[in-house]
Amino acid sequence: MSSDELLIFTDLDGTLLDHGSYSWAPAQPTLDQIAADDIPLIFCSSKTCSEILELRGQLNNHHPFITENGSAVYLPAGYFDAGQGSREGEYEKRLFSLERARIIQILSELRAEYGYRFRGFQDMSVSVLAESTGLPPEAAEKAKQRDCSEPIQWLDEEQTLLTFRRQLAQQGLRLLRGGRFHHVMGETDKGVAIQWLIQRYQQRWPERRYTSVALGDSPNDQGMLEAVDIPVVIEPARGEPLRLEHSDRVIYAGAKGPVGWQNMMKMILASQNTNSNS
Ligand SMILES: [Mg+2]
């Protein structure tokens, strides 16, 4: 093993999971190797706790995870020493945002006052949400169980969005663009949450030297990618790959979803092994 240990943070939709089919199959060989080497693989997604719990079960993952674009971090009980945050069943939960009920209240006040046209998860039935995301109804139900963010489809002019964004900021909220939705949430992002989590690892195991890797495909991954040692930009399902202004170490996968993920993580694991043997 290298003296540096990896911490891998990954976005899910359009990165580890195919944008259309939600399959991770092309990445399975490297997922197996990461599990065999006992490298922390931390899901960091716009998804909710209940959605990520299901995927962690399917992938047999036992590491902490970050929900709703950095709005909350869940730590399995006993993973680190007992720490801050409230207990949620088997997990310790740390919130980085306002609660969702307050966010929905602010959104409906803005809509009532300015007549904005948008549609949030709150406004959609499970079947409408399933239709607009391509998720099966059970999964859409899980996507609606949110702690502290509200995804919206913007149905108004693109120009009006700037004013809307400013008004949200005055209320301590931000608007992040994801693959399908804009996410209204507190003054946090995936980068804030992973910096906090990297510190937890470092405090718990001060003798270890960590190299952090993050993989993502959308603007909501920007903060996460800029917070790590090795940022990997996965080709998005649509449009141009994300450009990172503040990082010269960025690796562009040149392939979409789990195919790009597999290629890049295979390369990074191989170079770690080479470094440790040299
Ligand atoms: Mg994504």
Q: Is 11 a catalytic residue?
A: yes
What is the Å distance from ligand 1's center to 46 Cα? 8
DSSP state of 13: B
- From the list 11, 13, 18, 189, the catalytic residue is 11
DSSP 190-240: HHHHHHHHHHHHHHH-TT-EEEEEEEE-SGGGHHHHHTSSEEEEEEPSSSP
Ordered domains of the chain (ranges, CATH): 4-96+189-277 (3.40.50.1000), 100-186 (3.30.980.20)
Which residue has 């931390």 as its token pair? 42
**pLDDT tens digits, the chain, 278 residues: what are they?**
445 899 999 999 999 999 989 999 999 999 999 999 999 999 999 899 999 999 999 999 999 999 999 999 999 988 987 555 555 568 989 999 999 999 999 999 999 999 999 999 999 999 999 998 888 999 999 999 999 999 999 999 999 999 999 999 999 999 988 778 999 999 999 999 999 999 999 999 999 999 999 999 998 899 999 999 999 999 999 899 998 877 678 999 999 999 999 999 999 999 987 766 65
pLDDT of residue 132: 87
pLDDT at site 89 = 62
Q: Ligand 1 mean position to 78 CA, how many Å?
A: 29
Which amino acid does the sequence have at 149? S
The model's pTM is 0.86
Token pair listed for 32? 């197996």
CA of 182 to the centre of ligand 1 (A): 12
Cα first-last separation, the chain: 11
Pick from 147, 174, 150, 8: nearest CA to 74: 147
Residues in the chain: 278
What residue has token string 């959609």?
A: 124
Could you tell me the distance, in angstroms and rounded to a whole number, from the CA of residue 199 to the centre of ligand 1? 24
